Amino acid sequence: MKPVKVGICGLGTVGGGTFNVLKRNAEEIARRAGRGIEVAQIATRHPNSKCDTGSTPITADIFDIVNNPEIDIVVELIGGYTVAKELVLKAIENGKHVVTANKALIAVHGNEIFAKARKKGVIVAFEASVAGGIPVIKAIREGLAGNRINWLAGIINGTGNFILTEMREKGRTFEDVLKEAQELGYAEADPTFDVEGIDAAHKLTILASIAFGIPLQFDKAYTEGIARLTTADVNYAEALGYRIKHLGVARRTEAGIELRVHPTLIPADRLIANVNGVMNAVMVNGDAVGSTLYYGAGAGMEPTASAVVADVVDVTRALTTDPNNRVPHLAFQPDSLSDHPILPITACESAYYLRIQAKDHPGVLAQVATILSERGINIESIMQKEAEVQDGLVPVILVTHRVVEQRIDDAIAALERLDDVVDKVVRIRVEQLN
């Protein structure tokens, strides 16, 4: 059988890795796919020193790939929302299957892209868009297809996890570690996407959609980054038996779906609390299977290429199948998507870590306790760092039981109005994940 012809758009970190893996493992891949897979053309403006492209034709114009009649599968690895969207829509229009690692594109424009792909009977595969090399999309979409998914929670930004780990373990500065993550090719072109949680929210949007059978709704995700975390809170969390991780959480409730990305205290003995460096991990809880955990490299040249190439193999195997009987893009049949609403963050429920900078006066703790109890907020643990009294101020740290966020907002507003409380109250959400 003739080999399948692939065109790679973009020869950066992931594009270079994809070319190298396809070439190095060509024989093994062909044994799996049932036929050879050949890179027929690459579009790039810059050579990649880690990639020996040999005699493979190269063009500077990505649209040459989608207009090349020889090419069956377009691999989009240029990133971004605008040109990438135009490229992918053009590829679909030309009847080509698409493999992409572009989470921003899928999270923001996926509904439109999949609708168009369905009309044309082509596949748009996007395993590499979430959690780098971990096949978590396939696991949820296919491996857990018998379950009603209750919730999922994941460390889904490698750069952010790398920064938090290096800061905690080696005391390095935020800026220094971010620079290294950029040099290693982990960070987004705009690294604020990593540190402000936007990249994680893109990925969480995709995971929630395939877990709960809802349309992609990135604009409704709540997003909070790691840039404002302090070493003091990291240390207090440790003293209370927790680790701070930047987590994406999606949970199905009666009222709607929680979709939120934020720093989170997790009990230090949970496996996911010990996922460090650029590694990612996603916990998925289904009614039949219980809790499952998927772990691996969340970014990087070959780990991400591993997911891209797996999609290329999947598409190759499906080339001759009936388009109406393929695995649906978003796991559920497109006419069976649910309109269960996404909840605003004020209606989401979690436990909370609060750090209150208070004057070292008698009765302060009683006032704090009163404000919380008046709002039905139960305190699980409390710690007052007398040893850290400075300028007559003492940090009061407490962890609450689970409560709806609106009540914590009200309590924080009331706490900040107290004469004995100075500074803003620090609030970090807490998840037990059990």
| Closest CB 246 distance from ligand HSE, rounded Å | 10
| Closest CB 128 distance from ligand HSE, rounded Å | 8
| Closest CB 149 distance from ligand HSE, rounded Å | 22
List 272, 299, 331, 425, residue binding ligand HSE (CB under 6 A): 299
Give whichever of 109 and 118 is closer to ligand HSE, judged by the CB atom: 109
Pair type for strands 4-9 and 73-76:
parallel
Going by the DSSP 8-state scheme, the letter that residue 146 receives in this structure is: T
Please report whether residue 76 would count as binding ligand HSE according to CB under 6 A: no
Pair type for strands 242-252 and 149-155:
antiparallel
Please report whether residue 166 would count as binding ligand HSE according to CB under 6 A: no
List 199, 258, 405, 431, residue binding ligand HSE (CB under 6 A): 199
With contact defined as beta carbons under 8 Å apart, do 136 and 203 qualify? Answer: no
List 298, 308, 395, 408, residue binding ligand HSE (CB under 6 A): 298
Structure tokens at 194: 């990593």
- Catalogue the active-site residues: 203
Please report whether residue 186 would count as binding ligand HSE according to CB under 6 A: yes
Please report whether residue 157 would count as binding ligand HSE according to CB under 6 A: yes
Considering only 114-122, 153-161, 262-270, 359-367, which stretch makes contact with ligand HSE by CB under 6 A? 153-161
Comparing CA positions, the residue from 275, 268, 267 lying closest to residue 296 is: 275
Dihedral of CA atoms 301, 90, 193, 46 in degrees, nearest 10, equals: 50
Whole-angstrom distance, CA of residue 239 vs CA of residue 134: 32
Please report whether residue 159 would count as binding ligand HSE according to CB under 6 A: yes
Comparing CA positions, the residue from 163, 189, 4 lying closest to residue 103 is: 189
Please report whether residue 10 would count as binding ligand HSE according to CB under 6 A: no
Give whichever of 194 and 314 is closer to ligand HSE, judged by the CB atom: 194
Binding footprint of ligand HSE, residue count (CB under 6 A): 11
C-alpha 169 chain-centroid distance: 23
Tell me how crowded residue 70 is: count the other CB atoms within 10 A of its CB. Answer: 10
| Closest CB 103 distance from ligand HSE, rounded Å | 6
Q: x/- contact string, 83-122, with ligand HSE (CB under 6 A)?
A: ----------------------------------------
C-alpha 391 chain-centroid distance: 41
| Closest CB 244 distance from ligand HSE, rounded Å | 17
Dihedral of CA atoms 131, 134, 136, 138 in degrees, nearest 10, equals: 130
Q: Under rule CB under 6 A, which residues in 205-224 are in contact with ligand HSE?
A: none
| Closest CB 188 distance from ligand HSE, rounded Å | 5
Please report whether residue 195 would count as binding ligand HSE according to CB under 6 A: no
Mark out the alpha helices in 41-157 (DSSP H runs): 62-66, 82-93, 103-120, 136-138
| Closest CB 161 distance from ligand HSE, rounded Å | 8
Tell me how crowded residue 39 is: count the other CB atoms within 10 A of its CB. Answer: 22
Structure tokens at 219: 């604009």
DSSP assignment of 218-269 equals GGG-EE--STT--HHHHHHHHHTTEEEEEEEEEEE-SS-EEEEEEEEEEETT
List 7, 17, 110, 158, residue binding ligand HSE (CB under 6 A): 158
List 194, 224, 314, 431, residue binding ligand HSE (CB under 6 A): 194
List 77, 88, 187, 261, residue binding ligand HSE (CB under 6 A): 187
Comparing CA positions, the residue from 150, 259, 132 lying closest to residue 211 is: 150
Largest Cα–Cα distance of the chain, in whole Å? 83
Residues at the site binding ligand HSE, with contacts judged by CB under 6 A: 132, 157-159, 186-188, 194, 199, 298-299
